[in-house]
Structure 1
Amino acid sequence: MRYLPLLFDLRGKPCLLVGGGEVALRKAKFLLKAGAALSVVAPDICPDLEALLQRFDAAVLRQAFEAELVAKQQLVVAATNDKAVNELVANRCRELGVLVNTVDAPDHCDVIFPAIVDRDPVLVAVSSSATAPVLARKIRADIESSTPANIGALAAFIDQRRALVRRELDESAVRLFWESVVESEVAERVMAGHLDSAEQLFEEKLRAACEQGQCGEVYLIGAGPGDPDLLTFKALRLLQRADVVLYDRLVSDAIIAMARRDADLVYVGKARSDHSVPQPQINQMLLDYASQGKKVARLKGGDPFVFGRGGEEIAGLSAAKIPFQVVPGITAANGCACYAGIPLTHRDYAHSVRFITGHLKAEANEHDWKQLVDPAQTLVIYMGLLGLENICKQLVAHGAAPELPVALI
């Protein structure tokens, strides 16, 4: 990451804009809208920029740039059409330790201007780190089209009530409450301008939250075979809500990185003969975290209910009356089959598919091998590598052709 994304409070702070043309005009609009105490220096200033500066009562110096103008500035923007002048400005700023932005010259920039979606006070900034401005603008346009025009009113509504909510609710319950508000009818009514009815609904939700006390929730999320593009929208949405993420060994780093930055990440992965956290302890951790009022994501490879022990985990949650949601994921069989180009069913060859585990509990009975030998069936064996020799022997002994094609994935 070359640039650290920050939001800079420029209200009343001295800023210098070097240049008087169309490019300088675009930068001046940004700076003045942010409340900067702007000075502009240029021998000639275009009419539109002149009118803008008069409207904001900004200082104008009709002269060439001089090095001493940089002193005491918080930010300097070099926006002339003369590269030599822009470089001179950048060098002087760096000598004095003043932040500088040089138009179309990232090597001479300490800061760069992102593409923004402005729904004041909500502000979304998008940057390609000066590598592809057209791409940043494309992403900005996508966000713009999906961001409600009046979402700023919702932000202001929340801000006016934050102190009240902090007084009424425990610290751990505050964020959960606000998450419920922004996804409720309260938010819709605020953005529609129906503030009276929104206020009434808000007060009802706050009273209910005070009476209910702390109650967390658990999300059993199928992370699929590892590719983050295969996550469902719901999986991503719930993952980014979670205060705590308990993740398995087979969950990819790219998917874990999608969790909230302030979420607690807890590794509970298991491999054969190496259970870092035994299953009963995982079950108890889910109960403990949820009982503290936290939202817990149980992130599992594949699908939670296909050889994922999700059934054991929700049994404990149900008994403790802890609310939970289960989000299906693409199980390994489906993912591997598609990526390997092997259809699990085919009109000419396989009319059914069966999933079995190659790793049974010690006290479990053997598979019904005769049922598994069916030439019109695709047999998928999970966790079968260790017992592969015995599996092959049993299938052949019960009628499978020794030359039956097998894919090991």
Structure 2
Amino acid sequence: MDYFPLFCRLQGRRCLLVGAGDVAERKARLLLEAGADLWVGAPDFSPAFLQWAQQKAVTLLPGHFDPAWLTGCWLVVAATSDDVVNQQVAEAAEKQQIFCNLVDAPQQASAIMPSIIDRSPLMVAVSSGGRAPVLARLLREKLEAMLPQHLGQLAQRAGTLRDRVKKQFGSLNARRHFWERFFHSERLAQTLANGDSERADQITDALFSADIASQGEVALVGAGPGDAGLLTLKGLQLMQQADVIVYDRLVSDEILNLVRRDAERIFVGKRAGYHCVPQDAINQLLCEQALRGKRVVRLKGGDPFIFGRGGEELEALAQLKIPFSVVPGITAASGCAAYSGIPLTHRDHAQSVRLVTGHLQKSGTLAWQTLAAEQQTLVFYMGLAQAGEIQQQLIKNGMRSDMPVALVENGTSTRQRVVTGTLNELEALAGQVNSPSLMIIGSVVSLRDSLRWF
């Protein structure tokens, strides 16, 4: 081990930064965030340092390096563009037994600054010992994506509960189960993020009073329209924590490959005209799994609240007082349009967007005259089987028959296929594509040839 990893408390302690250029600015920001009493020495100072000095955030030492600047310092950073000066700073610090960081020669330094993931009070540092800083940065970026932003708030609250946990739970195993539930509680995390301390107290009390062995929860997670890269970070985190994944046909294999390896997977896929698992049975399944103490993720294609029947599933959970949370996903309208080079709105073409289910009711409740209005974009979900009716009703209610239309099959996936034409061809075009497909109707479709990127 070339370097001993150590977190230092610098609040109120004098630190010296030699240099006042761009690189020094980055080091200064880190030291100021740590609460250091920062002194900066250099012949000239960048505007940022002058502003900090005016705000009394730093103390400036004009001139060339003087070993006397080291008096009373706990840490020194040499960040000039002159290697000779940096070496002089390092040698002077060594004589006075003060740790020194050299920005351009970390392997010669007595201290190094790692890549930092800040979820205060939780801190994660990554270092390659100065040998591969780009690798350390890339690893930090991966960790940033894995660690939720709210972890710091959870850690802060956890620190106030340690005595209470020890008093209530006698065994180490019971404490471990409590803390796992605590840190995995999406409701608590969201409440803390919203600054609702009263609600956070209620959720915390519920965690203490619940039977740890039987306490389960459900998260409705939008998986997006197909491309795994469109999955949200929060959705990914919950998928990797889940005990059970309940998923439908629209969830791609690429996304399922990101699920925790040992999680149980339950398929409840549906197709138009054929329901593998009825909705009531899905609702019951979610409740049963949660009541067994499982962390359940209901993984839905697109967004759970846009034609995903997520509201019905939450109603069933709420009736049994089962904790739940919702993670939005990129809906098919947005994803498919973007990947097809079709802007849903455009100042010259459409000032509004309407998302419509293609499962048309026999009673004909759709306001076709409103849907046929100008200067808007229509997006029909699950509309292939009703393409002829959609075509007929829109034209009948005043939409021009040559209005551009696009049908997007397997949108955002590697199998995406787009078929374009006009409204009077819609029924015929629908026969050329397979489900799942999305219909986009409006003059914005005419922009596709100039805006599509693949």
TM range (shorter): 0.5 to 0.7
CA deviation string 1:163-211 (max 9, x = no partner): 9646547x9878535746xx99xxxxxxxxxxxxxxxxxxx98992566
Distance in 2 of aligned mates of 1:373 and 1:217? 43
Distance in 1 of aligned mates of 2:369 and 2:335? 27
**In 2 relative to 1, CA 364–124 (structure 1 residues): closer, same or farther, beyond 3 Å?**
farther
CA deviation string 1:8-67 (max 9, x = no partner): xxxxxxxxxxxxxxxxx99xx9xxxxxxxxxxxxxxxxxxxxxxxxxxxxxxxxxxxxxx
Unaligned runs of 5+ in 1: 1-24, 30-116, 118-122, 126-132, 185-203
Tell me the TM-score normalised to structure 1 length. 0.54
Distance in 2 of aligned mates of 1:143 and 1:389? 48
**In 2 relative to 1, CA 212–398 (structure 1 residues): closer, same or farther, beyond 3 Å?**
same
Maintained 8 Å contact 2:360/2:386: no
Tell me the TM-score normalised to structure 2 length. 0.49
Give 1:214 shift.
2.6
Note the aligned Cα RMSD (angstroms): 4.3
What SS does the aligned partner of 2:333 have?
helix
Give 1:247 shift.
0.6
Task: Determine the structure 2 residue equivalent to 1:359.
Answer: 359
Task: Determine the structure 2 residue equivalent to 1:300.
Answer: 300
Maintained 8 Å contact 1:173/1:293: no
Structure 1: 4+ residue segments shifted above 4 A: 133-138, 141-148, 163-167, 171-175, 177-180, 204-207, 209-213
Distance in 1 of aligned mates of 2:215 and 2:207? 15
Q: Does 1:273 align with 2:278?
A: no
**In 2 relative to 1, CA 364–298 (structure 1 residues): closer, same or farther, beyond 3 Å?**
farther
Distance in 2 of aligned mates of 1:236 and 1:300? 13
Distance in 1 of aligned mates of 2:296 and 2:207? 24
**In 2 relative to 1, CA 307–179 (structure 1 residues): closer, same or farther, beyond 3 Å?**
closer
Give 1:252 shift.
1.0
Distance in 1 of aligned mates of 2:286 and 2:268? 11
Matches within 5 A, 1:203-242: 208=208, 214-242=214-242
Distance in 2 of aligned mates of 1:299 and 1:243? 13
Q: Give aligned pairs, total.
A: 265
Unaligned runs of 5+ in 2: 4-115, 117-123, 127-131, 190-203, 409-454
What SS does the aligned partner of 1:386 have?
helix
Give 1:366 shift.
3.6
What SS does the aligned partner of 1:251 have?
coil
Identity %: 46
Give 1:309 shift.
0.8
**In 2 relative to 1, CA 135–209 (structure 1 residues): closer, same or farther, beyond 3 Å?**
farther
Q: Does 1:370 align with 2:369?
A: yes
User: For residue 262 of structure 1, what is the amino acid of its counterpart?
Assistant: D
**In 2 relative to 1, CA 243–364 (structure 1 residues): closer, same or farther, beyond 3 Å?**
farther
Maintained 8 Å contact 2:220/2:304: yes
What SS does the aligned partner of 1:407 have?
strand
Task: Determine the structure 1 residue equivalent to 2:181.
Answer: 176
Give 1:213 shift.
6.0
Distance in 2 of aligned mates of 1:207 and 1:331? 33
Maintained 8 Å contact 2:217/2:293: yes
User: For residue 330 of structure 2, what is the amino acid of its counterpart?
Assistant: I
**In 2 relative to 1, CA 267–206 (structure 1 residues): closer, same or farther, beyond 3 Å?**
closer
Distance in 2 of aligned mates of 1:167 and 1:205? 19
Matches within 5 A, 1:308-327: 308-327=308-327
